[in-house]
Amino acid sequence: MRFEYLHERAWPVQAWLTECHPDHVVIHHGRRVETRTDWFCEAVWDGPFDRGDFDLTDIVAGSGGRLRDGGVTFVPAGATVDRLQSLALPDGPTLVSNSLACLLARAGAKVNPRYRHYKRDLQTIVRGLKKYKKWLDTSRGPCRLWYFHNARWDGSVLRETEKPNPARDFSSFDSYRGFLDRTLAAVTGNAADAARDHAMGLVGTMSSGYDSTAVATLARDHGLDEVITFDQARGGDPDSGIEAAKHLGLRALVVPREGWRQYPQPLPEVPFLTADGYAEDRFFLGAEQHLRGKLMLTGFHGDKIWGKSPYHKDSLLPHPEIKRGDCSGLTMTEYRLSAGFINCPVPFWGARQIHEVVAISRDPSMRPWDVPGDYSRPICRRIAETAAVPREVFGIKKRAGSVNERALTDASRRDYMAWIKRHGIEGELLDRCIRKGMRVVPDAVRQKLFHMFYSPRTPSFRDYFFPWALERRAEIYRGGETAAKPVHRRKPAQELAGAGL
């Protein structure tokens, strides 16, 4: 088995696609994908970069492929905010990519434009690794979605292989905090490693909530010096993390929440909608200048990991399948390939031992950091308050961060409605009546009414965002200039070490 590399100059900088043959694998890739003799990646992990051992750990963000023992292991992120996808062509190779739009474009495949339940199907990943819908029907056959666990190519077929699951000591707050600190040191060191062709800087996120504040506090001791913060939450409530950032000595990069509407590129929602048809994280468009070439440390999944009762009655039982409360973070899986950053959600580290982390939150020793009410995360509060962040500047009120799915720019709406008409999709009478009636409702009330009227069972024009966006996004992967790329050669000693010799 061997690797062959082809540089796709017109592709998003971190996109890659492989054509898997019995004795070799051809890798098409963007400019910022790291390529070596026996591995490639746009990833960070908790080990030395030059060894390329991202297939031997569950602490990994981004994606890549590793040639080892006569086969290739494709590695998705150790978090369900990213995924890989594959398609076995009946008359050709098996394709694997970190971009669904790229995969379908190269396969000449399409999804059904008139199927209205894509959003529902794609968001089943919140149910966990055992219960999500793994297959997406296309015109060239079924497409497999790969979350968290690795996929092994043996020359004929792809098979799921579980990521390593080492037993870690989460018996106390101190042991868990020590694990987070050690892992942050390893991951941030990997991102900045001089052996990279494209070293990565650090940027955090910070709202007025618990999770991002805790992550930024931890990362401050490992080189983090600036955080992205949005001026408001959904609905207009203030949600800036400026005050907490000041106490931590971090530079706050304040981004207008509605700034994404002024994004200069056409159809700005499209890369976000190709993830799950929802696009709730599209407000990160306004922060793109701060994201390029960065490892973005985020707090996605902190609501479960650091909550006292994330699963109510069975919260102290093992949950290795990683159930989530929502899909936040996932909608950046395509967008980040163009913007050139990696989404690294720290709460996912050790997430298969969530029951032990919940036990820490409930331990009597954590009572000084357990505030009254339902919105209390003692682990986050202890991390931040012991770093001199005052109690009153964070974690006071739960605020929604995601953007409502119905919001499209005017240009995007025109393109989408033209696409709807071209495919003969007629709007439901209820949908048209509700939208017409909403025009006279004040903005403050309109949002709540939309959630009241709409449910997964209510037909709506919004149901077709995903196939529209996927078709539009696939256009950037068609054509373009391709160049053969010489394999980056390492020193002989490094090559031997990477091969396990």
Q: Print burial letters for 370-387: b (CB count within 10 Å at least 16), e (below 16).
A: beeeeebbbbbbbbbbeb
Q: Which residue has the higher pLDDT, 283 or 442?
A: 283
Compute the residue count for the chain: 501
Residue 263 confidence (pLDDT): 86
Q: Print burial letters for 407-417: b (CB count within 10 Å at least 16), e (below 16).
A: ebbeebeebbe
Residue 264 confidence (pLDDT): 85
CA atoms of 397 and 385, how far apart (whole Å): 17
State yes or no: pLDDT of 423 exceeds 50.
yes
State yes or no: pLDDT of 456 exceeds 60.
no
Residue 427 confidence (pLDDT): 64
Mean of all residue pLDDT scores within the chain: 89
Residue 405 confidence (pLDDT): 46
User: Measured in whole angstroms, how far is the alpha carbon of residue 218 from the centre of its chain?
Assistant: 20
Q: Are 286 and 255 in contact (CB under 8 A)?
A: yes
Could you give phi then psi for residue 51, rounded to 5 degrees? -85, -25
Locate the domains of the chain by residue range: 2-164+477-481, 173-393, 415-473
Q: Which residue has the higher pLDDT, 441 or 482?
A: 441
CA atoms of 187 and 403, how far apart (whole Å): 30
Residue 359 confidence (pLDDT): 97
State yes or no: pLDDT of 500 exceeds 60.
no
Res. 446 pLDDT band, cuts 50 70 90: low
Q: pLDDT tens-digit profile of 284-326?
A: 999 999 999 999 999 999 999 999 999 988 899 999 999 999 9
State yes or no: pLDDT of 498 exceeds 70.
no
CA atoms of 51 and 441, how far apart (whole Å): 59
DSSP H or E run through 20: strand 16-20
State yes or no: pLDDT of 430 exceeds 70.
no
DSSP string, 154-177: -SS-EEEEPPP------SSHHHHH
Contacts 24+ apart (CB under 8 A), 439-447: 444/235, 447/234, 447/235, 447/404
Decide: residue 214, CB within 10 A, 0-12 exposed, 13-18 middle, 19+ buried.
Answer: buried
Res. 396 pLDDT band, cuts 50 70 90: confident
Residue 497 confidence (pLDDT): 33
Residue 489 confidence (pLDDT): 44
State yes or no: pLDDT of 452 exceeds 80.
no
Q: Which residue has the tokens 């050709």?
A: 92
State yes or no: pLDDT of 60 exceeds 80.
yes
Question: Percent of the chain having pLDDT more than 70?
Answer: 86
Q: Are 203 and 227 in contact (CB under 8 A)?
A: yes
Report whether CATH 3.30.2030 matches the domain 173-393.
no
Res. 62 pLDDT band, cuts 50 70 90: very high
Q: Which residue has the higher pLDDT, 72 or 402?
A: 72
State yes or no: pLDDT of 107 exceeds 50.
yes
Pairing of strands 294-298, 341-345: parallel
Q: Which two tokens stand for residue 35?
A: 């390529």
Q: Which residue has the higher pLDDT, 314 or 102?
A: 102
Report whether CATH 3.40.50 matches the domain 2-164+477-481.
no
- The whole-number average pLDDT for the span 449-469 is 73
Nearest to 60 by CA among 73, 71, 72, 405: 73
Q: Are 62 and 42 in contact (CB under 8 A)?
A: yes
Q: pLDDT tens-digit profile of 130-158?
A: 999 999 999 999 999 999 999 999 999 99
Q: pLDDT tens-digit profile of 152-201?
A: 999 999 999 999 999 999 999 999 999 999 999 999 999 999 999 999 99
Contacts 24+ apart (CB under 8 A), 415-423: 415/267, 415/472, 416/465, 416/468, 417/461, 419/113, 419/464, 419/468, 419/471, 420/461, 420/464, 420/468, 423/113, 423/114, 423/464
CA atoms of 84 and 446, how far apart (whole Å): 37
Q: Are 206 and 241 in contact (CB under 8 A)?
A: yes
Q: Are 111 and 467 in contact (CB under 8 A)?
A: yes
- In Å, how far are 24, 184, 231, 284 from 76, measured between CA atoms? 20, 19, 32, 22
Largest CA distance in the chain: 71
Q: Which two tokens stand for residue 287?
A: 């922060």
Q: pLDDT tens-digit profile of 405-414?
A: 456 888 999 9
Q: Are 281 and 486 in contact (CB under 8 A)?
A: no
Q: pLDDT tens-digit profile of 205-258?
A: 999 899 999 999 999 999 999 999 998 654 555 567 899 999 999 999 999 988
Res. 495 pLDDT band, cuts 50 70 90: very low
State yes or no: pLDDT of 499 exceeds 50.
no
State yes or no: pLDDT of 501 exceeds 70.
no
Residue 232 confidence (pLDDT): 66
Residue 482 confidence (pLDDT): 62
- The whole-number average pLDDT for the span 258-283 is 90
Could you give phi then psi for residue 331, rounded to 5 degrees? -70, -5
User: Measured in whole angstroms, how far is the alpha carbon of residue 446 from the centre of its chain?
Assistant: 29
